Amino acid sequence: MIKIDRNENPIFTNYDEDSVKHSLKIDFFKKCYLCEEVTRHFEVDHFYPQKYYPHLINSYDNLFYICQKCNKVKPKIINTNSNNEILNCCDINVENYIKLSLNIKKCKVDIEQIRQDKALDNKIQETIKLLDRIYNGTNSQSNSCEDLKQEIITEIANFKKLLGKYQTKLKNAVIDEIKEKLDIQSSYSTFKRWIVKDNKKFELFQQYL
């Protein structure tokens, strides 16, 4: 989950209007706020569900860009009360609290809490459970996580090839490409950003995170 700073301020009367969808595409960089896939096949998600928070149905701050797969996998009970609330990536930089890494040997995504915060710990744990469901299929009957993991594996493999070239005489030729892959607009950027954070050989790119 990447930090989203909303800049759009659409005028609308109903959340499914084109102006809303257009604004969400811009603010979220066409990325699903949960799995980080860049996609045009998206739906408008209510962070706080319509049934429980009817007064927020047409509040732009409550509308999120989500891929169709994640919208099906995400339990409807999420964010219905304080016990099952997740981190809001428009308010909090989730990357400061949760680490995502690809575990090739086990063919799964490792999701780890890296920072304690009494005020946020429950939300962090609920977010981890949701991401585990999305990336690894935990407590889900959907198979969408398998395709998602393959996409992440391919993206990470390509990124590591660029890092490999950076360590050779091709260094200057790939710097811009690496910076582009680390940008929050890139698919699954959180995974790539953690690879750089965890390796001192790539300290140069810390400034672009």
| Interval 8-51: pLDDT, tens | 999 999 999 999 999 999 999 999 999 999 998 999 999 999 99
SS3 197: helix
Higher pLDDT, 34 or 167: 34
Whether the predicted pLDDT of 56 surpasses 90: yes
In this predicted structure, the answer to whether residue 135 has a pLDDT above a threshold of 90 is yes
Which residues span the domain enclosing 173? 144-208
Gap between the terminal Cα atoms of the chain: 14
Q: Is residue 164 part of a domain?
A: yes
Determine, yes or no, domain membership for 155. Answer: yes
Average pLDDT, rounded, for the chain? 95
The beta strands (E) that lie in the chain are given as 42-46, 63-67, 98-103, 108-113
Q: Is 10 inside a domain boundary? A: no
Please indicate, yes or no, if residue 160 is contained in any of the structural domains. Answer: yes
The backbone torsions φ and ψ at residue 74, rounded to the nearest 5 degrees and listed phi first, read -65, 125
Q: Which residue has the higher pLDDT, 7 or 208?
A: 7
Does a structural domain hold residue 128?
A: no
147 pLDDT more than 90: yes
Considering the domain boundaries, does residue 169 fall inside one? yes
Burial of 199 (0-12, 13-18, 19+ CB in 10 A): exposed
Within a domain: 107? no
What is the per-residue pLDDT for 203? Answer: 86
d(CA 172, CA 167): 10
Cβ–Cβ under 8 Å, residues 26 and 8:
yes
Name the domain count of the chain: 1
- What's the rounded mean pLDDT across residues 147-158? 96
Domain annotation covers residue 83: no
Q: Is 200 helix (H, G, I), strand (E, B) or coil?
A: helix
Confidence of residue 174 (pLDDT cuts 50, 70, 90): very high
Q: What is the pLDDT of residue 204?
A: 87
